[in-house]
Structure 1
Amino acid sequence: MTCGGDQLLEMLSALANPHRLRIVATLSTMGRTYVSQLAREIGISRPLLHLHLRKLEEAGLVTSRLEVSPDGKALNFFEVAPFAIELTPTAIAEAAPSLTATSRHSDS
């Protein structure tokens, strides 16, 4: 997958968290599931899960769909979006020139 510098940073930032790695791993094995089930499976609270899912969704790594169950309950389903990140020196060199000024900050 070729992506711009900002997109690469956003994806790597989203994946640079153990909870979010577990979410992607769990969704990739479970498939599409709703928030409560995913929270139980991973063992974190729904509010914390929502924060992590938002970050993953903003990075394009998961997708969500709100559906109404037959009993009228709203369920937010999530699944892993298809993605592949090739992280090589060449891929980084190709992505770096497209970084925007705001993403060229130092984390020091």
Structure 2
Amino acid sequence: MRIVAALMEGRNYVSALARQIGMGRPLLHMHLQRLEAAGLVVGTLELAEDGKAMKYFEVAPFFYELSPHVIARAAATITETADRTAKEEAK
């Protein structure tokens, strides 16, 4: 929620957003990937003046109705993802 709230102020790149919300870049990047996969944020790769590639993120238009049923479905996907990640790491 803090990431979406910060991006409501305007699009930003990972390093600046990490400083803004006080989160490490690797953790923030992981959350941004998941938010992007869920369609809540959009990332675009751009070149800075110095030629460095920077990925900017912004909030995508969305509307979600929060209910116990929606939370239960979301919780199931978190468990499935965690199980899949654990299996991949065990290899």
Q: Could you tell me which runs of 5 or more consecutive residues in structure 1 were left unpaired when the two chains were aligned.
A: 1-20, 93-98
Equivalent residue number for residue 41 of structure 1 = 20
Equivalent residue number for residue 83 of structure 2 = none
Equivalent residue number for residue 52 of structure 2 = 73
Listed as ranges, the matches of 1:44-63 within 5 Å are: 44-63=23-42
Structure 2: how far apart are the matches of 1:24 and 1:87? 16
Match for 1:75: what amino acid?
Answer: M
| TM-score scaled by length of structure 1 | 0.60
Match for 2:41: what amino acid?
Answer: V
Structure 2: how far apart are the matches of 1:54 and 1:87? 22
Q: How many residues align?
A: 73
Deviations 1:28-63 (A, max 9, x none): 12x111111100001111111111001101100000
Q: Matched residues, percent identical?
A: 59
Structure 2: how far apart are the matches of 1:46 and 1:88? 31
In the TM superposition, residue 88 of structure 1 has moved relative to its aligned partner by 5.6
2:27 aligned with 1:86: no
Aligned-pair RMSD on alpha carbons?
A: 2.1
Match for 2:6: what amino acid?
Answer: T
